[in-house]
């Protein structure tokens, strides 16, 4: 895929949740460039999570195109989409979704089990996990600790390291700073941006907090790119 092509492109996409004919999204056009940092703002219930699910291929559009790294997700089987997502996207969930009884190292290295291409970029998983921990402000002696014993801020950084390992071309972060105080939030974003710049990784972060806007290359309002099918009816 040429570097000039967008990492994410949605065209004339429509989606309705099964069994909920009164709710869905209509997205005429949305794109995210390579190495671009974008903040997606929207109120609760505006469809932000649905949009992320479409980009990640966990739900399929009823019509239109969703292209990730130049590949139309509709051309892939569900199993192929899962493997493709693991290769192309590093996910940071709002609740982090760590394995609480597994070690920090095992949590960080987990994506490499499902993404062979990302794995080829990592000569030594333990060394790379240690490097990411240090870069994200975590002591490397935390690698053997169980994830469930960490503070919220530490778990957040582990989730970021898991998303960054193997340098996927896109990081998707779903309200990752919502439970943090302002100082911790600022430090986390600074570290995340630094890691993204170092590897020319695109970053799409979803939030309802407009105060974060000036830290990103571009800000997208959910209302500007997606129309509720309920409103369009």
At the topology level of CATH, where does 8-230 sit?
Rossmann fold (3.40.50)
Residues 25, 76: Cα–Cα separation, whole Å: 22
pTM: 0.89
Encoded tokens for 112: 């490499």
Q: How confident is the model at residue 232 (pLDDT cuts 50, 70, 90)?
A: very low
The model's pLDDT over 20-60, given as tens digits with 9 standing for 90+, comes to: 665 678 999 999 999 999 999 988 878 888 899 999 999 99
Residues 9, 54: Cα–Cα separation, whole Å: 11
Residues 181, 185: Cα–Cα separation, whole Å: 6
Question: Do 117 and 167 touch, CB atoms closer than 8 A?
Answer: no
DSSP state letter for 47? S
Query: What is the model's pLDDT at position 17?
Result: 80
| Exposure letters 116-147 (e unless 16+ CB within 10 A, then b) | eebbeebeebeebbbebbebbebebebbebeb
| Burial (CB count within 10 angstroms: exposed 0-12, middle 13-18, buried 19+), residue 193 | middle
């Amino acid at each position: 895929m040429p570097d000039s092509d967008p990492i994410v492109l949605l065209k004339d996409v429509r989606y309705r949740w099964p069994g909920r004919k009164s709710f869905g999204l209509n997205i005429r056009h949305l794109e995210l460039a390579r190495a671009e940092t974008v903040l997606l703002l929207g109120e609760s219930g505006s469809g932000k999570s649905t949009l992320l699910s479409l980009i990640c291929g966990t739900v399929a559009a009823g019509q239109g195109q969703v292209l990730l790294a130049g590949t139309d997700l509709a051309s892939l089987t569900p199993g192929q989409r899962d493997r493709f997502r693991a290769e192309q996207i590093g996910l940071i969930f709002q609740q982090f979704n760590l394995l609480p009884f597994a070690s920090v190292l095992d949590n960080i290295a987990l994506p490499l089990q499902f993404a062979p291409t990302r794995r080829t970029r990592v000569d030594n998983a333990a060394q790379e996990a240690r490097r990411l921990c240090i870069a994200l402000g975590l002591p490397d002696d935390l690698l053997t600790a169980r994830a469930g014993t960490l503070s919220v801020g530490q778990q957040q950084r582990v989730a970021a390291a898991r998303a960054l390992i193997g340098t996927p071309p896109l990081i998707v972060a779903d309200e990752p700073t919502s439970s943090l105080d302002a100082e911790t939030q600022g430090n986390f974003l600074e570290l995340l941006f630094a890691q993204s710049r170092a590897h020319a990784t695109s970053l799409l972060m979803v939030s309802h907090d407009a105060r974060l806007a000036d830290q990103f290359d571009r800000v997208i309002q959910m209302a500007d790119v997606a129309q509720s099918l309920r409103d369009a009816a």
